[in-house]
Amino acid sequence: MIIWITGLSGSGKTTYSEYLIKSFKKKIKNKVIHIDGDNFRSIFNDLKYSARDRIKNAERACKLANFLNHSGRFVIIVSMVSISRKWLSWVRKRNKNYFQIFLDVPIKVLKERNVRNIYRKKNIVGVDIKYLKPVNNHFIIKNNFKKSHMNKEINKILNYKKITKLLKKYENA
């Protein structure tokens, strides 16, 4: 199973991923792999932040998630900006147990919060690089950055029938 969490920088992708991982690990122990966009990029250390390099990073993450998922051993959680609809579609087509979560936060809110001073840099998706909202999302979360809201949304994901059914498979494996 692949759970792909996407949204603009600072929208809460890593935070949501960490909550899901914590919840999943209670049930399925060490069968969760997290591919975080920032950490993943640092593995190769050959890409910058241009649109072209971001798409290359997305391609690599999609191919890795696809490879790991086909082993049947892990739940893969990916948290990336994901500017390429092409690569999101590619990974979706190859993995029947794919779930996409879009954290929809207006750029104005993100610029005001400016976590890690991201929005003062160059080549920022949504500012300098065009961002097309992802399509065919299983969940769209309008993140308001309140813990109670996040818990409610995480519970919706955890109680989604297709996901709970798949988690039982991993519990018993």
Q: So where are the chain's domains?
A: 2-166
Cβ atoms of 4 and 99 within 8 Å: the answer is: yes
The yes-or-no verdict on residue 117 having pLDDT over 80 is: yes
Mean per-residue pLDDT for 13-40? 93
The candidate with the shortest Cα–Cα distance to 158, out of 30, 5, 19, is 19
Q: Please report, as a single letter, which amino acid is at residue 144.
A: N
3-state DSSP percent of the chain in helix, strand and coil, to 5: 50, 15, 30
Cβ atoms of 104 and 143 within 8 Å: the answer is: yes
pLDDT at 45: 84
Residue scoring higher pLDDT (35 or 45): 35
The candidate with the shortest Cα–Cα distance to 64, out of 48, 46, 44, is 44
Percent of the chain clearing pLDDT 90 (strictly above): 89
Taken in order 60, 104, 158, 138, the sign of the CA dihedral is: negative
Phi-psi bin for 157: left (phi > 0), alpha (psi -120 to 50), beta?
Answer: alpha
pTM (whole model) above 0.75:
yes
The yes-or-no verdict on residue 12 having pLDDT over 90 is: yes
* Two structure tokens written together for 95: 């993995």
Can you identify the CATH homologous superfamily of domain 2-166?
Answer: P-loop containing nucleotide triphosphate hydrolases (3.40.50.300)
The yes-or-no verdict on residue 173 having pLDDT over 80 is: no
Q: Which residues pair with 163 in a beta bridge?
A: none
Task: List, for residues 61-116, the tens digit of each pLDDT value.
Answer: 999 999 999 999 999 999 999 999 999 999 999 999 999 999 999 999 999 999 88
What does the alpha-carbon distance between residue 98 and residue 138 come to, in Å, rounded to a whole number? 9
Cβ atoms of 97 and 71 within 8 Å: the answer is: no
